[in-house]
Chains A and B, each alone.
Chain A
């Protein structure tokens, strides 16, 4: 018996959906969640939540992640047409 994880039940942060490509780019760069978290100065759990789209990072954190992954923010976070309301 397995329940879904608690943070997906307690998803409260508002706003539309954003397609998150952080995990794909991170894996392409050969970084682990722990390493990325250490480089941007957050907890690994925050990276887990950002990758799973459960937490939308601030502009500052998004820029830091983009810089560490050597890419731009638009590559990591994409606003879908359907979310443009």
Chain B
């Protein structure tokens, strides 16, 4: 993963976490567009022309998703709340990252990068929620399992089925209670969509030609 990608991700995580303490900290999420802006002004040159094209394309799609979500929430809820704002901020950023990584890197790298980032985030959030405790160990297990699945699925395609199994288990837990809330839908989108995509991608033909 590129340095700029790590910087952008750090800004988003910091923005989401700190916004609980100070709401203006959410502006840190704008750091997700730091790379695309600096590249537009020629300050950073860490991509070739195809990657820059995909980066801009992914940003364009994230705008469409953000507009779509805003309109849907406007039509359904009329009055915004904290969960809706998080959805409008995070879901387009997730779409942007997934489009960029899936179109830029070969299949193996996509699975490897996504599982490492995704698993590490789950472990990080477990750590932040519980500190170093038994609950942390239990809650970080899905993150560890996803990283392991990523390593196995890049070597043995059949292991990719586990991503769908994970997605199915996640979906079951979200669907178990009949109450549908925005927070539940956001969590579902942020957790299930990458898993389903990982499962599909891991089964795809590799681009490796001599």
Residues of chain A whose beta carbon lies under 8 Å from any beta carbon of chain B: 1-7, 10, 12-13, 32-33, 41-43, 45-46, 48-49, 51, 55, 57-58, 60-61
Contact = CB atoms under 8 A, between A and B. Distances in A.
A3 B110 CA distance: 15
A1 B204 CA distance: 9
Contacts of B38: none
Nearest to B110: A6
Given A6-B201, A45-B207, A58-B49, 6 more contacts: A1-B203, A4-B205, A5-B207, A43-B48, A45-B106, A49-B50
B105 interface: yes
Interface of B: 48-51, 53, 57, 99, 102-107, 110, 157, 200-201, 203-207, 209-210
Contacts of A7: 103, 207
Contact of B105 (A2, A3, A41, A45): A45
A69 to B, nearest CB: 16
B51 A46 contact: yes
A29 to B, nearest CB: 13
A33 B209 contact: yes
A46 B11 CA distance: 28
B155 to A, nearest CB: 16
A35 B102 CA distance: 23
A4 B209 CA distance: 15
A42 B203 contact: no
A8 to B, nearest CB: 9
Contacts of B49: 42, 46, 57-58, 60-61
B209 A5 contact: no
A15 B35 CA distance: 28
Given A12-B57, A41-B48, A46-B48, A3 B205 contact: yes
